[in-house]
Structure 1
Amino acid sequence: MATTLTGGNPHIIQLPATPSNSPSEPQAIAQQWLTDLQVQLAHPESINLAPLFHEESWWRDMLALDWDMRTVHTATEIEAFLRKRQGPSVLSNFRLQNKGQFKPSWNKVVDSLSWVSSMFFFETAVGSGSGMLRLTQSTEGRWKAYAIYTSLQELKGAEEPLGKRRPEGTTESMPGGLGGGTWIERRQRQQEFLDEDPTVLVIGAGQAGLNMGARLQNLGLSCLLVDKHERIGDNWRKRYRTLVTHDPAEFTHMAYLPFPQNWPQFTPKDKLGDWFEAYAKIMELNVWTQTSVASAEYNDSKGDWNVTVTRGDGSQRVLHPRHVVWCTGHSGEPRVPKFPGQDSFQGTVYHGSQHRDAAELNVRGKKVVVVGTGNSGHDIAQNYYENGADVTMLQRSGTYVITAEKGVFMMHEGLHEDGGPPTEQCDIVSESLPFPVQFALSVHGTKRFAEAEKDTLDGLRRAGFQLDFGPDGAGIARAYYTAGGGYYIDVGCSQLISDGKIKVKHSPSGIDGFGTHELKLADGSALPTDVVVLATGYDNMRTTVRKVLGDKIADRCSDVWDLDGEGELRAMWRPSGHPGFWYFGGNLALCRIYSKFLALQIKAVETGLSNGTRHEERASKI
């Protein structure tokens, strides 16, 4: 059995072909393998993985073996990694999941690939963790690891106060007893940080900041969130009027507090904003709204920050946190191109980030060109059409399209769905495969989605809309993790395009410039227009850091998003390159999942277990 690496594009692999025989005792197979692994790990200096791992195998680790996100490929590299890391980490006391959906089972993954999989649990020198094993059968009949996942879930001595560990809540049980005041009196002092500086300053109180704040406080770290908006949730409320989430409810829960059972599958933006506001209150988060960062400087010798914030009343406060978490959205500044003749254009030009609602404008009968065919481009085009405009979408290159009605739910089958397993277990499973393996499996999933959505895709093709299923046909997963966009989750615009109600103009070479009443294209043609909306995306998240915090800090940070040489996301949810500075963002589900891992990293720094720096760079083998 072999995993073939292909050239041309990084992180593209060919999945192995395996025997398709269904084993009679997957529990015994998984248990024997896990027992054998523990025997090997007991003597890290002499680990021999040849009997347990295929040569083309993978190990993805989140904080259990290294205070970073790591993907190690090939048995040879895994063996070297374990020899170095198992000594201080001490993975031990392995136990299989023995009930529920993720107990040992044989799974036919795709036509040519099957494996025995199981969730398992383990201990480390500093905490406890969860993982997944996936064993495939060699042609000789031996079961070996194809993909292993380990993730630290809890630190010893810093266990989250959940369930039976929940606080008592009486005034007498609180630190200092009655002398420290009632709950509300304590909250008022905590919210204003009258007695201390926060250990962690979180910039932004959207889904990233709120999940982050809840996780940090649950680990006993004092945390202040600051947000420029008037109310918590305004980062969603103030976006265009028709916006709803494109991911279903079971996938988008917040940490510790799932949506109610009667919550809609797709959440309107204002409803989500209200949920954020309620969440902050229920989770007792310390949030200063109408507050912006005026300046920030890092003190290398002391290992803390001097951050000046300006509050809504104009007053300033200097804070000295040890950590700053940047939660301003996983994109950076709007990417706003400038074209020849634009200043003489007699119509309106603006970036998609400035769009609110076409209903506020007198657009009936007006010609509108939307430049860009990602999610926001489609939503904006649909908004203009529904308010009587003559809309054309300008498409430079192909776009991946999946429907919210079918494909999105197919993506979550067996995991984050109504009646599915517990969210915490789904989160472990969903992140347990290395991204290159996820992409390879997505090739098969993307084909299934396309078959189910054939009518929609054929209608788009007939209308002249160019489809692109991405490198290797991996679809939305690769588009999101490598580019952060380049796809549309259809909530109605595709039918308008298919019906010719919204026109499409394909212009591979882009825009040449503006006339007084037209948009000139590079192919020599022109589109008469009154309004041009540039749905042209955003720069790297680091650009916002540079804009707000300045060059000195931004120059020490890494660019963020896309995959590094190992196949992990660059700088997001992990060391940023700058001490005491962390990037955090993503969709609601990723913010729930990875807030745990970033909170654990910060707690590890505060308890002296980690220095918060990234591992040494390794050459890519992919």
Structure 2
Amino acid sequence: MAIEDAIDTPVKSVLDSLPAALPTTNVPDDVDLAAIAESAVGKLRTLSVEDLTEDAVWRDSFALTGTMRTFYSGRTITANFRRLVESHDARLFRAVQKSCRITRIDENTAWIDVGFLFATESEPQTVCSGVMSLVPGEDSESSWKIWVLRTILEQLTNHGNVDHMELRNMTNGHTNGYHNGDAALKDHHFDAVIVGGGQCGLATGGRLQALGASYVILERNKNVGDAWGKRYESARLHTIREYGHLPFERTFGPEYPEYLSKDDLAKGHREWAEKYGVNIWLSTSLETGSWDEKRQMWTLHARQEEGMITLTAKHVVFCTGSSSQIPLMPQYANRDVYQGEALHSVDYKSADAWKGKAGVVIGSANTGHDVADDMQLAGLSSITMVQRNRTYVLPVEYIEGRYRILYNDKLPTELADRAQQSSPIAIGRLLSAKAFHGMAKKEPERWAALERAGFKVDPFGDISHVLHERLGGHYIDVGTSAKIAKGLIKMKSDASPVSYTKKGLLFTDGTEIEADVIVFTTGFATNLRDEVADILGPEVAAKSERFFGLNPEGEVYGAFKPSGHPGLWYMGGSIGHARYYSRFVALQIKADGLGTPLAVYNETLT
């Protein structure tokens, strides 16, 4: 039986309902790219339905809608785009020189990408960019139509560069390393208080600093970089080094390995914070806070070693991680009778102390594979992975090839981010599926070997669903799948644990697996709104959106944009999310501080 036939329960995603499709067109090699670019950009000021395909998609990232929105169909795009161009007095549309190029996926899927710039004259005045993806019209190849339109807020005119930090102009003035506050028992006011000093907190603080906004990062750990440094010993990125940078520079040079370890990341983050003098208060935890509706101001209370500190701010940005704070651990009967060691991955560091013992890992996503691999390398007598659901496995080499096209030592990281992150999620999903699923179909034995070993594999999963809706549950294969296929790591996927026994776990099929140690790699609570409720109160949380998941337009809930409660922001996701979307959070906070907040467009004309 083919592996495709074994996958009988398709993923249910918001993206399944969106009217997005890849074009079935070809583009001749000898087209006049410059003429096509000038003609297409010239139509933007007075866009008409005839200029777009019927299934066109437009994604705006804060340029015209003041938030992130995706519109579908030529008619809907035209109506909303024209209204927003007029209300923002958008003008000076011009093609980016030498940006026009043919993108060819295969012999039946190709288009022309055209980069452009424009400005808005309404308050706040802005500089924006965009990309049009053009396909030939039905009448002739000389008539080009917009299939995908992207518009992106770049800068607030005359108010700094969110993408560049001048060391000599650092607003916090700490040129000899980051500032760890001597702030106990004093009152402080900032434009923004950032909760969490990991990759999202550092990126957001740096962006605000580049714009001249006052801020402080509250980090509960003792050192910058501990958000990575305190993870289990084998933790590392499964994406290439060039994807791992923080803003403004290439944080990790060629002296670092291609796949950054947790210690590499901790070192790079620490050196970055010192270089740019970010304002971070270490060993500081936000405990409570309240919102003054009349003053439009937060009053926050944080704990330091010296005592409590009070801060006030117009904005609070939660950067505490979307899946690393509150562990989720199944509860089985008879825990008290089990004589071995049971722990969640949040408390796991290394398997070295368990050499010669029997280990069980509950969970089959990235962390579960990492822990099982550690156990095998440490010489445990037996390792069993308990798989609760069929798992999407994506070989790392599939991803590496795609990343290297954009993330390399030649293309500026900021430009690579725009190319990857600004695309409509529904379109990015189709492109990823076309690439990854095509590769997977060429390796049937790879998947058959896993099935024979008892691992229920899905090689045709939905990476967009995993990243934006599920926030995990997949495995990027860096080598452990082969160990499972060879039997070095055993599988239990035909029954679920129901009870501890004296020596291990009892399963629903009546079998028992003995284990000296059980590690639960069962994930974390992923909704930052729950943490907001604990710290700022349920009334604040009730007014804010959930965190992540996709709304009916295929846009992420809650994160990076107005959360629903004044002055409350969420940041989270991958390093790529931290680096790219932090620029928009900083621009929104800066615009508000200038008295000209971005106007959020909530309507949809059809």
TM over 0.5: yes
Q: Distance in 2 between matches of 1:321 and 1:136?
A: 48
Deviation (angstroms), 1:20: 4.9
2:189 is paired with a residue whose SS is coil
> Match for 1:519: what amino acid?
L
Check if 1:498 corresponds to 2:477: no
- The CA deviation string for residues 244-266 of structure 1, in whole angstroms up to 9 with x for no partner, is 21111111111012122332211
Question: How far is the alpha carbon of 1:190 from its aligned partner?
Answer: 8.3
Q: What residue is the counterpart of 1:578 in the other structure?
A: 565
Between the aligned partners of 2:177 and 2:515, the Cα distance in structure 1 is: 59
Q: 1:111 to 1:458 in 2, by over 3 A?
A: farther
Q: Equivalent residues in 2 for 1:186-585 (5 A)?
A: 192=183, 197-258=189-250, 259-313=252-306, 315-331=307-323, 333-359=326-352, 361=353, 363-389=354-380, 390-404=382-396, 406-419=397-410, 421-450=411-440, 456-469=446-459, 473=460, 475-507=462-494, 510-539=496-525, 540-585=527-572
Deviation at 1:187, TM superposition (A): 8.6
Q: Structure 1: how far apart are the matches of 2:214 and 2:546?
A: 28
Is 2:120 aligned against 1:124? Answer: yes
CA distance in 1, matches of 2:488, 2:285: 43
- How far apart are the structure 2 equivalents of 1:275 and 1:456? 36
Greater displacement, 590-599 / 440-449:
440-449
Q: How far is the alpha carbon of 1:195 from its aligned partner?
A: 9.0
Mind listing any 5+ residue stretches in structure 2 that lack a counterpart? 1-9
Amino acid at match of 1:400: Y
User: Partners of 2:178 and 2:441 in 1: how far apart?
Assistant: 55
Contact 2:387-2:493 at 8 Å conserved across structures: yes
- Supply the RMSD in Å over aligned alpha carbons: 2.8
Deviates more, 1:518-527 or 1:429-438: 518-527
Structure 1 position 121, deviation (Å):
1.5
CA contact (8 A) 1:131 1:428 kept: no
Q: Aligned partners of 1:162, 1:498: CA distance in 2, in Å?
A: 46
**Is the 8 Å Cα contact of residues 407 and 452 (structure 1) preserved in structure 2?**
no
CA distance in 1, matches of 2:88, 2:193: 29
Q: Is the 8 A contact 1:115 1:136 kept in 2?
A: yes
Distance 1:149 1:307, change over 3 A: same
User: Offset of 1:384 from its aligned partner?
Assistant: 1.6
Tell me the CA shift for residue 114 of structure 1: 1.1
Letter in 2 for 1:140: D
Q: Secondary structure at the match of 1:321?
A: strand
1:51 aligns with 2:50: yes
Q: 1:26 aligns with which of 25, 33, 48?
A: 33
Letter in 2 for 1:299: D
Identical-pair percentage: 30
Change (3 A) 1:523 1:77: farther
Q: Displacement of 1:399 after TM fit?
A: 1.4
- 1:134-170, Cα deviation, whole Å (9 max, x unpaired): 011133223111100000110012122887x95866x
* CA distance, structure 2, for counterparts of residue 185 and residue 243 of structure 1: 30
Whichever residue aligns with residue 449 of structure 1, its letter is: M
Q: Please report how far the alpha carbon of residue 36 of structure 1 lies from its aligned counterpart in structure 2 after TM superposition.
A: 1.6
CA distance in 1, matches of 2:520, 2:177: 48
Does 1:108 pair with 2:104? yes
Provide the rounded CA distance (Å) in 2 between the counterparts of 1:249 and 1:446: 21
Q: CA deviation at 1:490?
A: 2.0
Contact 2:240 2:403 in 1 (8 A): no
One-letter amino acid of the structure 2 residue matched with residue 381 of structure 1: A
1:369/1:138 CA distance change after superposition, 3 Å: same
CA distance in 2, matches of 1:487, 1:518: 26
The residue aligned with 1:45 is: none
Aligned residues: 584
Name the CA distance, whole Å, in 1 between partners of 2:219 and 2:503: 40
Whole-Å separation in 1 of the counterparts to 2:163 and 2:362: 48
CA contact (8 A) 2:178 2:273 kept: no
Q: Which residue identity does 1:333 align to in structure 2? A: I
The 1:52/1:474 distance shift into structure 2, 3 A limit, reads farther
Distance 1:22 1:188 in 2: 55
